[in-house]
C-alpha cells in the first residue's frame, strides 16, 4: 500500500470518534482540527519524502557504524597479533635472562673455585717462604753461635797460650799463623 492510500484510509477512519461525540465535522471541533493538522503534517512529510530521507540517514548511519565496527574488529585482531608477538618476545627475553643468570652463576662458581685454588697456592707459597726464612734464620743462628763459640775459644786459647808461652814464642806462633793464612789464600 502506498503512503497516500494509508493517509486517506486514516482520514476516513479517524473522524469516527468525533462523529460519535456528536460534534460532527467542523473547524470548531478541536478533535477534528487536531486530526486534520496531523494528516496535513504527515502528507507534507510524505510529499517531501522525509521518511525516505530518515531511512536513508539511518541506513547511512548504520553503514558508518558497521564500517566502524569492522575497523574496530580489524584493530582488535591487529592488537591481539601484536600482543601475542610481545608475549612471545617477553617469553624469549625471560628465557634469555634465565640463561644469562645460569651462565653468571656458573661463571661465579668457577671464579670462586679458581679463587680458592689461588688462595691455596698463595698459602703454600707463603708457607714455603716462611719455612725457608725459618731455615735461613736457623742457619744464621747456628753460624752466630759458632762464631761466638770460635771467638770465645780463640779468646780462651789466647789466654791459655798467653799464660803458658813467652812473648818470643807468641811472636813465632803469630808469624806461623800469618804464613799459613798467606799460603791458603794464594
- Encode pLDDT of 99-118 as tens digits: 999 999 999 999 999 999 99
Q: Is residue 52 part of a domain?
A: yes
As for how many domains the chain has, the answer is 1
Q: Is residue 162 part of a domain?
A: no
Look at 27-41, 107-121, 165-179 and tell me which has the smallest mean pLDDT.
165-179
The strand ranges marked E within the chain are: none
Range of the domain at 81: 40-156
Q: Is residue 169 part of a domain?
A: no
pLDDT cut 70: percent of the chain above it: 86
3-state helix, strand, coil in the chain (%, to 5): 90, 0, 10
- The x, y and z cell numbers of residue 149, run together, are 763459640
Q: Is residue 167 part of a domain?
A: no
pLDDT value of position 160: 74
pTM for this one?
Answer: 0.39
pLDDT of 8 higher than 60: no
CB 101 within 8 A of CB 109: no
pLDDT of 82 higher than 90: yes
- Higher local confidence (pLDDT), 69 or 15: 69
Summary mean pLDDT of the chain: 84
pLDDT value of position 156: 76
Q: Is residue 164 part of a domain?
A: no
Residue 87 CB burial class (10 angstroms; 0-12, 13-18, ≥19): exposed
pLDDT of 1 higher than 90: no
Q: Is residue 94 part of a domain?
A: yes
Q: Is residue 9 part of a domain?
A: no
Displacement of CA 121 from its chain's centroid (Å): 38
DSSP track, 19-55: HHHT--S-TT-HHHHHHHHHHHHHHHHHHTTHHHHHH
Can you give the C-alpha Rg of the chain in angstroms?
A: 66
- Higher local confidence (pLDDT), 131 or 15: 131
Amino acid at each position: 500500500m502506498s503512503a497516500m492510500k494509508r493517509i486517506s484510509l486514516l482520514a476516513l477512519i479517524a473522524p469516527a470518534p468525533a462523529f460519535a461525540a456528536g460534534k460532527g465535522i467542523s473547524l470548531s471541533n478541536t478533535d477534528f482540527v487536531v486530526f486534520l493538522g496531523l494528516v496535513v503534517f504527515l502528507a507534507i512529510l510524505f510529499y517531501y519524502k522525509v521518511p525516505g530521507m530518515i531511512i536513508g540517514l539511518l541506513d547511512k548511519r548504520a553503514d558508518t557504524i558497521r564500517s566502524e565496527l569492522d575497523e574496530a574488529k580489524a584493530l582488535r585482531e591487529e592488537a591481539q597479533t601484536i600482543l601475542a608477538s610481545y608475549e612471545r618476545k617477553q617469553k624469549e627475553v625471560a628465557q634469555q635472562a634465565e640463561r644469562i643468570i645460569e651462565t653468571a652463576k656458573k661463571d661465579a662458581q668457577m671464579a670462586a673455585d679458581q679463587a680458592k685454588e689461588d688462595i691455596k697456592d698463595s698459602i703454600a707459597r707463603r708457607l714455603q717462604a716462611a719455612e725457608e726464612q725459618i731455615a735461613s734464620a736457623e742457619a744464621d743462628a747456628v753460624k752466630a753461635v759458632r762464631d761466638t763459640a770460635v771467638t770465645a775459644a780463640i779468646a780462651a786459647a789466647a789466654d791459655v797460650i798467653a799464660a803458658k808461652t813467652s812473648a818470643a814464642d807468641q811472636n813465632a806462633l803469630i808469624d806461623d799463623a800469618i804464613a799459613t793464612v798467606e799460603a791458603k789464600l794464594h
